[in-house]
Amino acid sequence: QQPVQSPQAVILREGEDAVINCSSSKALYSVHWYRQKHGEAPVFLMILLKGGEQKGHEKISASFNEKKQQSSLYLTASQLSYSGTYFCGTVYNTDKLIFGTGTRLQVFP
C-alpha cells in the first residue's frame, strides 16, 4: 500500500532540473508532497486533489495523473536550499496519509 518513489536518490548541480515520481498500486484520492531536511521535521509543499491537477510553488511544481495512479514533482533551476528528502503522501479513501519511500536530493554548487 506504500507508494513507491523513483529515483531513490538524485545528485544535481545548482541550476539543473529534476523529476521525482510517486506511483501507487491503488486508486488515489489525493497526493501530498513534503520535503524533509536532515534532522528536521517534514515541511508541506503542496497537495493535489483532482486528477490532472498541476500546482506550483516557486520553482517547484507537481502533477497528478489519476488514471495512472501516479504523481510527479518537478524541480526547476535547483538551488542549494532544495537539498533534502522528498516524500509523497497518498490518500486512498480520506482516512489516512501514507508516505512514500522517499527520494534523497542533493544539490551541489
Partner 1 sequence: DSGVTQTPKHLITATGQRVTLRCSPRSGDLSVYWYQQSLDQGLQFLIQYYNGEERAKGNILERFSAQQFPDLHSELNLSSLELGDSALYFCASSVDPGQIDGYTFGSGTRLTVV
Cell numbers placing 58 = 516557486
Q: Does 30 participate in binding partner 1 (rule CB under 8 A)?
A: yes
Cross-sheet strand order for the sheet of 18-23: 4-6, 18-23, 70-75, 60-65, 54-57
32 binds partner 1 (CB under 8 A): yes
Residues linked to residue 53 through DSSP beta bridges, in sequence order: none
Identity of the residue, 44 or 108, whose beta carbon is nearer to partner 1 in the bound complex: 44
Pick 2 or 79: Cβ nearer partner 1: 2
Q: What are phi and psi of 95, to 5 degrees?
A: -95, -15
The footprint of partner 1 on residues 44-103 (CB under 8 A) is: 44-47, 49, 87, 91, 94-102
Binding site for partner 1 (CB under 8 A): 2, 29-30, 32, 34, 40-47, 49, 87, 91, 94-102
